[in-house]
Structure 1
Amino acid sequence: MASVVGLVSVPGLAQQTPAAPVVQSVPPVAPVQVVPLPTLSAAQAAQLGQLLADAGFAHGLRHDGTAKPRLDGNDAVVRAALDYARAVHSGRLDISDFQQDWGLRPVAYDPVPAFADAVKRDRIAAWFRALPPPYAGYDGLQKGLVNYRKIEANGGWATLAAGPDLAVGASGPRVAALRKRLAVEDSEVAAGGDKFDAALKEAVVRAQRRYGLNPTGLVSTGTLRALNVPAADRVRQIMANMERWRWLPSELPAKRIQVNIAAAVLTVFEGDAPIASMKAVTGRPGNETPMLQSRIHSIVLNPPWNVPAGIAAKELFPKGAAYLARNNYKIIGTGAARRIQQQPGPKSALGLYKFDFANPYAVYLHDTPAQAKFASFDRLDSHGCVRLEKPGPLAQLLLRNDPAWQPEQIDEALGKGKTLRVQLQPQDQVQVYLLYWTAFASANGQMNFRGDPYGWDKTLAAKIERRSAITAVAAR
């Protein structure tokens, strides 16, 4: 059974007797209940110490093997276990570490009750195993972390020299170096030889697909850039993505919409399986699409665009009245209060559909008349909202259970050209997640990477490392 060897203060639970009369103008101190931490048996302490030895390293809470807490005595072991539990269950970051546009925040988690129960029932190992996010995506990253740590420990890979594009028929030292570089991540590549043959082209195509590049088989600047990202940076990229998984709820709704901001792709899930996917256009660097979780509650047909003041001042007012009139913009108000609204119609920047969900960033999913960008592999080009390749089918999918809004009724309303907000029925309102996934594993375990256009991976990995070092020092 537990005995008092370490203490946790919980405000608001136990009564205390004031040491002196309370002055009327000063609020009383919140009552505090002292919760005892359990005493571990010698066997439990040894078991937990072993479990903790490299757990933070294995879950990407440290980049290298340093910053381990010293586990001297029962209190130190217990507090290290609770710190690890919080970090691997709901994220290493403190709330002060979050950037404003990292709107996806983990739910507060108190590991003490479950830990105390595990000690009492002598089920510490089972408690420990249940802490990480219960997602295959997280498991795939953890396995990838092991592999890329090994690659880094073995020296990583050499930087490929710049030069003319490489294609079938090329030969020489640069081709030999390319073959050697590809072989590090792709077991199907034979490392020897300096000829660019058909087999090497297929290996280049596989690499380009792993990095989200146009799979041409031609090695040009973009492919070289992706191949030359150091192995240590790939490790940090995996660490950052594992942390983001820890910010998600322990159970995602079976019906949801996910947008991968970095890859600019939207996926619809039903029954926890993907049923539809489409290309998207997300925010360009400087106009980042925020990470967030919300719920789509309505669809606006023929939406007007209320132009944000910053965009109006920088991009539209300078173009003059003629340009605004030609593109169906209307100036509303005068003086400092004036603003711009683009009227519904074929020229509207929001197209025919706008999908609304509550959020503090004023972003949403929407249609667009500018379709050319969907043919590009680099689709970060918006002011922060998410443009959709196929908004019509998405609207029909979300409204399919509403007899008043079948495809014929939707088309009729669109044809009238008037703005109309269609409220989704409560059971059809769907959770939406805007996520920043730049590293993920395929079903076969192969790691895939995307660019870090916002620089969030490096920033997050550094915050994880710094916060782990702080907690390690505090534990001494």
Structure 2
Amino acid sequence: MNRSPLIRIPLLALLGASTLSLATPSVAAPPVVAPTLPTPAQPAPTSPAPGMVQAIPAAPLPAPIPPLSAAQEAWANDWLKQGAAQGLMARQKASGPLSGEALVRAVLDRAKALSTGRVDTADFLEVWALRPAPFDPRPSLARAVAEDRLAQWANSLTPPYAGYDGLRKGLVRYEAIRDQGGWPTLTAQSAPDVVRARIAIEDSAVTPGEKLSDILQRAQRRYGLNPTGLLDTRTLAALNVSMDDRIAAIMANMERWRWMPRNLPVNRVQVNIAAAVLTMFEGDQPISSMRAVTGSPDNATPMLMSNIHSIVVNPPWNVPMSIARRELFPKGRATLIKQGYKIVKTPEGGERIVQPAGPNSALGRLKFDFANPFAVYLHDTPSRGKFSSYDRLASHGCIRLEKPVSLAELMVASDPELNGQIQSLIDEGKTQRVSLPKEVAVYLLYWTAFASNNGTMSFRADPYGWDKLLANKIEASSRRVDPTAAPAATIALKD
């Protein structure tokens, strides 16, 4: 069979180059997060004549914004008060009305925060590589003022996704619950009526005659727990998460939605790192989902977007030195060789560990490659037991897949030479790279809060502690740059 996109790579060639990573720059940089337009051809630079000083082109002037009318100023001041409702600050801040240039600056700042996030990318963690595209709200604001369409302009700023809107509505609801006193703390000895009433605060579907075990199962599914219908330790802990932490999670997830591109590829792979689930989208609709194993709390899987360009069939594993030093070299050379590892000399005179391809390889039979500066990828695994667990954050940062062959078949289905052939390629036992007929976008995301179609909120644990950290960064950034937050910041300092 002629497989034009199939490139056979000799095993020794793969063993000689790290299959675990692409070349990592000395200073880690986030991957490109949105396609860029081709740069038009530029004329060749010319050198100035001797004795002449070359003029430096002046920077373009910012778009002039027409003066706001009295009605527009009133509208803009009311709009600025909605920052808390959009998750841009923890509580509503009292402030006097702004006018003139101060009001314009505040409106521009709020527009940028709604479009690309309140937290500046300079304040991101390195592993938050899901970076928003640059956005300058000034030209569109100038048009909106001139055309008297400020409300329509403001509505266009937030992410156009049902996921964001569901969180926005959830934030309103949870802040109302907080303002009404929140919820009680449960214990293992709490009476059934108390447990029922506690769950009903979040779950409007609870009915008076419903069995408590059914109510508990529904709550456990919302928290991503094993639906036993029993008030076990993990369920009790989820029900006792504080109201402030739930609100922080909603705010953090709203912020992450603001980092997303405004147009997602209709064909893509999405991984929810926190839930350890992979979903394949085709035509913007989910067509396949599977359990995954994602990074442990000590080996966080980064948030990023990239494109899967190829699949390595029967991949060897070049063990990263960090894992080799920490977990393998301490076992001793004899033990490693007995377990099938190879110890290979490096050009620098050191040694590294390679696990040859085969049924026991840590990468299993398939590895899905995409460019990123973190040396992470999707791959198969011979260790299948973890997929039956509800606690699947256990990898070194890569994503292990429950059904890798099915995912590979979906990716090559449009190529008649490869369609239905993935298992045959595996059975050949050779290490080979299959170029995809078309690259597939991949998004590694961290969703710990999301709303169902009926508005009920679901939560997942925050294994990396990113929710509270991000919520604090949102609040701190709001106090630094948002004029409507100034009075509250002053009060906080006095306290």
- TM surpasses 0.5: yes
Aligned length: 435
Q: Which piece of structure 1 moves more, 267-276 or 176-185?
A: 176-185
Match of 1:240 in 2: 252
Identify which of 430, 435, 440 aligns with 1:418: 430
| Equivalent pair of 2:301/2:397 in contact (CA under 8 Å) | yes
Change (3 A) 1:318 1:30: farther
RMSD: 2.2
Q: CA deviation at 1:443?
A: 1.4
| Equivalent pair of 1:76/1:475 in contact (CA under 8 Å) | no
1:411 is matched by which residue type in structure 2?
Q
Identify which of 293, 305, 310 aligns with 1:298: 310
**Matches of 2:484 and 2:187, distance apart in 1:** 45
**Matches of 2:356 and 2:330, distance apart in 1:** 19
| Equivalent pair of 2:314/2:364 in contact (CA under 8 Å) | yes
Q: CA deviation at 1:70?
A: 4.7
Alignment of 1:114-125 (within 5 A): 114-125=140-151
- Given the alignment of the two structures, is residue 88 of structure 1 paired with residue 98 of structure 2, yes or no? no
**Matches of 2:207 and 2:433, distance apart in 1:** 59
Identify which of 151, 155, 164 aligns with 2:181: 155
- Given the alignment of the two structures, is residue 37 of structure 1 paired with residue 65 of structure 2, yes or no? yes
- Given the alignment of the two structures, is residue 189 of structure 1 paired with residue 199 of structure 2, yes or no? no
Q: CA deviation at 1:432?
A: 0.2
Q: CA deviation at 1:72?
A: 2.7
| Equivalent pair of 1:71/1:80 in contact (CA under 8 Å) | no
Identify which of 114, 131, 136 aligns with 1:110: 136
**Matches of 1:229 and 1:429, distance apart in 2:** 41
Match of 2:218 in 1: 206
Q: Which piece of structure 1 moves more, 175-184 or 104-113?
A: 175-184
| Equivalent pair of 2:109/2:482 in contact (CA under 8 Å) | no
Match of 1:61 in 2: 88
Identify which of 400, 403, 407 aligns with 1:387: 400
- Give unpaired runs (5+ residues) of structure 2: 1-50, 487-495
Q: CA deviation at 1:25?
A: 12
SS class of match (2:61): strand
Match of 1:343 in 2: 356
Identify which of 361, 380, 383 aligns with 1:367: 380
- Given the alignment of the two structures, is residue 73 of structure 1 paired with residue 99 of structure 2, yes or no? yes
SS class of match (1:279): strand
Identify which of 436, 455, 463 aligns with 1:445: 455
Per-residue CA deviation, residues 300-335 of structure 1 (Å, 9 max, x unaligned), is 000011111000001011112233223321111068
Match of 2:442 in 1: 432
Q: CA deviation at 1:181?
A: 1.1
Match of 1:288 in 2: 300
| Equivalent pair of 1:351/1:367 in contact (CA under 8 Å) | yes
Per-residue CA deviation, residues 453-474 of structure 1 (Å, 9 max, x unaligned), is 0000000000000000101259
Match of 1:9 in 2: none
Alignment of 1:196-275 (within 5 A): 199-275=211-287
SS class of match (1:405): coil
**Matches of 1:92 and 1:313, distance apart in 2:** 40
Change (3 A) 1:393 1:185: same
Change (3 A) 1:31 1:183: closer
Change (3 A) 1:198 1:95: closer
Identify which of 134, 143, 166 aligns with 1:140: 166
| Equivalent pair of 2:364/2:382 in contact (CA under 8 Å) | yes
| Equivalent pair of 1:69/1:80 in contact (CA under 8 Å) | no
- Given the alignment of the two structures, is residue 354 of structure 1 paired with residue 371 of structure 2, yes or no? no
Identify which of 457, 461, 467 aligns with 2:471: 461
SS class of match (1:325): helix
Per-residue CA deviation, residues 384-414 of structure 1 (Å, 9 max, x unaligned), is 0000000001111101112221323x33321
2:225 is matched by which residue type in structure 1?
L
Per-residue CA deviation, residues 93-121 of structure 1 (Å, 9 max, x unaligned), is 11221001001000010000111000011
TM-score normalised by L of structure 1: 0.87
**Matches of 1:369 and 1:381, distance apart in 2:** 14
- Given the alignment of the two structures, is residue 180 of structure 1 paired with residue 204 of structure 2, yes or no? no
| Equivalent pair of 2:170/2:451 in contact (CA under 8 Å) | yes
Per-residue CA deviation, residues 353-408 of structure 1 (Å, 9 max, x unaligned), is 00000000000000000000000001000000000000001111101112221323
Q: CA deviation at 1:231?
A: 1.2
User: Which structure is richer in relative contact order (CA contacts within 8 A, separation 6 or more)?
Assistant: 2
| Equivalent pair of 1:327/1:347 in contact (CA under 8 Å) | no
Change (3 A) 1:259 1:324: same
Match of 2:410 in 1: 397
1:371 is matched by which residue type in structure 2?
R
| Equivalent pair of 1:255/1:430 in contact (CA under 8 Å) | yes
SS class of match (1:132): coil
SS class of match (1:403): coil
Q: Which piece of structure 1 moves more, 174-183 or 131-140?
A: 174-183
Q: CA deviation at 1:297?
A: 0.2
Q: CA deviation at 1:213?
A: 0.4
Change (3 A) 1:323 1:174: farther
Change (3 A) 1:230 1:474: closer
**Matches of 2:404 and 2:443, distance apart in 1:** 17
Q: CA deviation at 1:415?
A: 1.7
TM-score normalised by L of structure 2: 0.84
Match of 2:325 in 1: 313
SS class of match (1:396): helix
**Matches of 1:27 and 1:258, distance apart in 2:** 49
Q: CA deviation at 1:32?
A: 5.9
SS class of match (1:312): helix
